[in-house]
Copies of this chain bind each other. A is one copy, B any other.
Amino acid sequence: MGEDPGEVAAGAARTAAGAAFSALVEAVFRLNGRLVAAGDALAAPAGLTSARWQVLAAVEDAPASVADVARTLGNARQSVQRVADVLAEEGLCAWAPNPAHQRAKLLVLTEAGRDALARVGARQATWANGIGERVGEASLREAAATLRRAIEALGQ
């Protein structure tokens, strides 16, 4: 969708700012793809994937229900549910009774889950440090700020 759609109907001419945004969109798509692949590569040695890593990380500090995790990650409840079920099967997390809600059990990390998270975290830090070094902290901060403004602009 960020791809240049080529010829454009008259009356919908692209401004310079619009073209700049479209170029950013393309870069975001490409970078996103690379990052997902990199995340999977980082997580694989610990027996995780990007999706499972995110769910585990969401309950690292405190247990939470599936619906809580979904809200935190910005995903659909059902998507998180499936991943959580797999994680529980594999013993990386477990279901704990929720004093505030009988059906909505709490997802808690097991020791194995905490270990896996620590391993992935260490790998991710090393990886992020390397890329950060090569791109430069100042540019990264500016770019992130611009992206956040774009997110905000999209919300309107």
Contacts and interface: CB of A to CB of B under 8 A. Distances in A.
Contacts of A17: 129, 132-133, 135-137, 140
22 contacts: A2-B35, A3-B54, A5-B53, A5-B125, A6-B121, A12-B121, A15-B132, A16-B132, A17-B132, A18-B132, A21-B131, A21-B140, A23-B144, A25-B35, A27-B147, A30-B74, A35-B154, A131-B154, A135-B149, A139-B142, A140-B150, A142-B142
Number of copies: 2
B22 A32 contact: no
Given A32-B29, A117-B5, A146-B139, A153 B134 contact: yes
Nearest to A150: B135
